[in-house]
Structure 1
């Protein structure tokens, strides 16, 4: 239903984005592009230091914020209707631009796992700021996730198989319980025992393609498990109204 591209629109050519938009529109799936540049791409040193990692992937200074907004404008101009920001201020700005008609009204703003809402109060702040889909930490218990669901109506994004650099958890058998407490919820599939490929490109294209194929395999495993252990669970149809399907 949703495909996220973590390297982001900054490092995609016009034809790349247009092709992604065409495929997404044709298959009725959301294509979500990360917004960049971000702290780890910029010239500052804090994000690379051991203690300075608390800055996350925020945008440093007004100039970087403007660059990020231009990334989103470019995405929308090329047909994309979903973006993945990792800065709460940027989320607020993008939502204000939507209200004023400066960005498409149907633009989905999906918060990043690098900017997770770890409790109900934070989740509510994200909702007020304009988030369309809420990313939460990879290690929350079903009870903690359920408490967040009580605070917001937004769809929740949660990794079921978590990349090593975000904890490396494998939570397939928890899916039925998570569905009960968190729906509507999007399950995401990273890969254990796989390298961090961001920013990606032609220099590691074979690796990126093979990892994408294995993610699809993992999703198939998840669907089979849900068919067996949660047959009453319902998956939304392709083209669900909350998705940011590209417009071409």
Structure 2
């Protein structure tokens, strides 16, 4: 088994099982975690988990998240945006880059056109069609154009919802057309659901992979045995991703799936993509609540003795990962 980008060190003591002692006193069986399920991987800084607040749709939402995180003492490694680079002006992107750089937070912006918004009807059928993937060469070109524009403005993390776009952006990174420190993050809406596909995404250039939030703990263990690439998971998923709330599993998710980004999503909230001023109040209110959800998750980890192992603030790179050979030219 590969152990790059980092090898996790064992915690000083295993986390406490929720209500374990109380249940044991009543003779109720308490599951014992298997050491075989513990991930051997870590971020290159030695950390096992980082944090992310998603759906931060512009400078005002970013300021709201930053203020609330300071008030509630929620550490932030990454914030991500879902509407796309093309829904932001140059001035808005530059402001977000500046705010995140000042606070050593990674800024991740979504790339370009996607199937759920264009003229294709299949995404509106029960099957969902091809989902967010880029339909046709024009959409691919739009995604690449967004990536190049964002990089010129200082963005160093790009969110991708198409395998072909991912591979093209990785090739541009390898060729020096995108900065070498650019990281590529796979969207949850095309996220892999098995270890074989997870490993393929890693080799296509992914540095961080959202997986669907309904994957079981065993599924995550299987994925982690196939690849050390950082995994992103909503502890609380938006309704269009199922609305799952997995806060009590946070410690076990870290144990099995490290290196892991804990994403503080929000269920029972209206969709806000593509964002505009007509959605301002909802966007700011949900931004504040996502940070509060983060505080609840961190408090739970503290109570269970599972809060150790967080990456230092400012950490962002994934470490060395396996890639397909990039063709010349």
TM-score (norm 2): 0.72
Which residue is equivalent to 2:9?
Answer: none
Q: Given the alignment of the two structures, is residue 138 of structure 1 paired with residue 213 of structure 2, yes or no? A: yes
Number of equivalences: 242
SS in 1 for 2:191: coil
Which residue is equivalent to 2:107?
Answer: 31
Gaps of 5+ in 1: 244-248
Which residue is equivalent to 1:246?
Answer: none
SS in 2 for 1:110: strand
> Greater RCO between the two (CA within 8 Å, min separation 6)?
2
Q: Give the Cα–Cα distance (whole angstroms) in 1 for the partners of residues 210 and 130 of structure 2.
A: 17
Query: 8 Å contact 2:85–2:109 — kept in the other structure?
Result: yes
Alignment of 1:15-54 (within 5 A): 15-51=91-127, 53-54=128-129
- Cα offset, 1:210, TM superposition: 0.7
Q: Given the alignment of the two structures, is residue 121 of structure 1 paired with residue 183 of structure 2, yes or no? A: no
Which residue is equivalent to 2:3?
Answer: none
Q: Given the alignment of the two structures, is residue 197 of structure 1 paired with residue 262 of structure 2, yes or no? A: no
Q: Over alpha carbons, which structure has the higher Rg?
A: 2
Q: Give the Cα–Cα distance (whole angstroms) in 1 for the partners of residues 244 and 310 of structure 2.
A: 23
Which residue is equivalent to 1:214?
Answer: 289
Which residue is equivalent to 2:41?
Answer: none
Q: Given the alignment of the two structures, is residue 6 of structure 1 paired with residue 75 of structure 2, yes or no? A: no
Which residue is equivalent to 2:159?
Answer: 84
Alignment of 1:145-156 (within 5 A): 145-156=220-231
1:64-97 superposed Cα distances (whole Å, 9 cap, x missing partner): 1111100000100111000111000100000011
- Cα offset, 1:192, TM superposition: 1.4
Q: Given the alignment of the two structures, is residue 238 of structure 1 paired with residue 283 of structure 2, yes or no? A: no
- Cα offset, 1:44, TM superposition: 1.8
Q: Give the Cα–Cα distance (whole angstroms) in 2 for the partners of residues 220 and 129 of structure 1.
A: 34
SS in 1 for 2:188: coil
Of residues 71, 75, 81 in structure 1, which corresponds to 2:146?
71
Of residues 165, 168, 174 in structure 1, which corresponds to 2:243?
168
- Cα offset, 1:231, TM superposition: 3.4
- Cα offset, 1:151, TM superposition: 0.7
SS in 2 for 1:73: helix
Gaps of 5+ in 2: 1-76, 319-329
- Cα offset, 1:233, TM superposition: 2.8
Moved more, 40-49 or 189-198: 40-49
